[in-house]
Amino acid sequence: MREGKALLIASGTVVPMTEEGLFFTGDVLILGNRIVAVGTNLPRPPECEVLDAQGCLVLPGFVQTHVHVVQSLARHRAEGLTLLQWLTTRIWPYEAALGKEEVAAAARLGIAELLTGGTTTALDMGTVHHHHQVFLAAAQLGIRFISGKCHMDRGEGVPEALLEDRESSLAEAAHLATCWHGAEGGRLRYAVAPRFALSCSPELLTDCVELARSRGLLLHTHASENWEETKLVRAITGKGNVAYLADLGVAGSDTVLAHCVHVEDSEVASMAKRGTGVAHCPGANLKLGSGIADVPKFLAAGVKVGLGADGPPCNNRLSIFHEMALAGTLHNLRHPPGCLTPWRVLELATWRGAEVVGWGGELGRLKPGFLADVVVLAPSWSFEPWGDPASMVVFGAGVEAVRHVVVDGRPVVVEGHLTTANAHEVRQEARSAAASLKQRLPWL
């Protein structure tokens, strides 16, 4: 947090996301880590830092509701597979091989990519070990981050190194939460993250629920991503995946389920009733051939939905723009075109995503009193000729449009450059870590 420092984002086309269709030429004034004014020709306080946004769009920073930054070093190394093959032959062996320095390098790469791509908040799931490294990277690079170590205590094809006994697994999570929940002036938060129903015993899931509820933490898991996975859960438990999790307490306004591609109508109704959030990950769902989550149906039922890129090896980018463009087009295969309007998609990537990750009401809009997370987009060719800003962003923008990024009142990207780390070093470190891992995992 930047105590008392004033920052003016000046003379842009402001899209505050407070009202559908609203945009105007104006400024955003920030004091410390809060937005204090949004309007036209705002008076400039003395000694105010200024970020020029003339000719640019100014939006709330983007929120991703499901990512795995630790998987960054396996990017471009896990192609042509369905979910369970992808996990058992690539991702789990990769995660099992990760050392402390490699987790750090992967996390820094993933977070640098998120920030320079305009994502200011992310809900992240780690691997089983070395999770302090992920929080250290988030603290250093300046992202708003909700993250947790992954829990696994059983499952076919899970490497020994990723299996933990319940007591030590929960003790480690509790310790991480003590260290990091609320750290960096509240910018970092802990989320309890059992991987998914097939790799967690019901006892482990129950313990995770208890830890999350006793400490006021978010619960974050995967559910009903792939048909085979959903079928296996039903064979083992006799229930739908989302219903099974809900019966164990993994449901409610403090719970985020990634994917929800294969869900029953009764599960959708229950998610709406209990306030359970869904992380819609269209890029990953298409790449792994998992299916298409029925987001228009979720929204009509009153389910909270946000967007996420998921892991770099199943996407292969952490770009909110990629997810927005897919969310704005994909559902036209099932529903009439326009079923998710560009404004609605932009809501998923901003304030609706913030609601999913437990930051509703103070994040995801440019509004006095809200947290000062802002992105400034410079016009790319596909912005021309200027029209509806939501259309321009959802269908016409990519990460290369990101000019400035402010998180918690601090400019972390200025003129496209990361200010909180040396970008060249982050890339080099990731390449060296991948090369060192390759000695242990020849396929990498």
User: In the complex, which residues of this chain contact Zn ion (CB under 5 A)?
Assistant: 310
CB contact at 8 A, 434 and 444 = yes
CB 194 within 8 A of CB 206: no
Residue 75 Cβ vs Zn ion, minimum distance, rounded to whole Å:
14
3-state secondary structure of 162: helix
Backbone φ and ψ of 407, nearest 5°:
-125, 125
Closest CB to Zn ion: residue number: 310
Return the structure tokens found at 249.
């307490």
Least separation in angstroms between residue 311's CB and Zn ion is 6
List the helix and strand counts (H, then E) for the chain. Answer: 16, 18
Element (H, E) at 60: strand 57-60
Residue 127 or 420 having the CB closest to Zn ion = 127
The DSSP secondary-structure symbol of 278 reads E
CB of 68 to Zn ion, least distance (A): 5
* Residue 196: CB minimum distance to Zn ion, A: 9
Q: How far is the CB of 221 from Zn ion (least distance, A)?
A: 9
Least Å from the CB of residue 367 to Zn ion: 31
Whole-number Å distance between alpha carbons of 314 and 71: 9
Q: Which amino acid is at 7?
A: L
Q: How far is the CB of 409 from Zn ion (least distance, A)?
A: 30
Cα–Cα distance for residue pair 297/413, rounded to 1 Å: 37
Between 164 and 310, name the residue whose CB sits nearer to Zn ion. 310
Three-state secondary structure string covering 90-121: HHHHHHHHCCHHHHHHHHHHHHHHHHHCCEEE
Closest CA to 67 of 105, 118, 121: 121
Nearest CB to Zn ion, comparing residues 240 and 308: 308
Beta carbon nearer to Zn ion, 184 or 310:
310
Q: 365 near 60, Cβ under 8 Å?
A: yes
- CB nearer to Zn ion: pick between 113 and 408: 113
Compute the least distance from the CB of residue 269 to Zn ion, in Å: 24
**Shorter beta-carbon distance to Zn ion: residue 133 or 315:** 315
The residue (of 113 and 310) whose beta carbon lies closer to Zn ion is 310
DSSP code per residue over 56-94: SEEEEPEEEEEE-GGGGGGTTSS-S--HHHHIIIIIHHH
Pairing of strands 119-125, 144-148: parallel
Minimum Å distance from CB 292 to Zn ion? 16
Q: Per the structure block, which two tokens stand in for 132?
A: 């302090």
Cα 377 to chain centroid distance, Å, stands at 20
Choice between 13 and 127, CB closer to Zn ion: 127
- Whole-number minimum distance, CB 87 to Zn ion, in Å? 10
Task: Say how far apart CA 413 and CA 432 lie, in whole Å.
Answer: 25
Q: Which is nearer to Zn ion, 53 or 152 (CB)?
A: 152
Instruction: For residues 373 and 62, give the distance between their C-alpha atoms in angstroms, rounded to a whole number.
Output: 8
Dist CA 379 CA 386 (whole Å): 9
Of the pair 222, 403, the CB lying nearest Zn ion is at 222
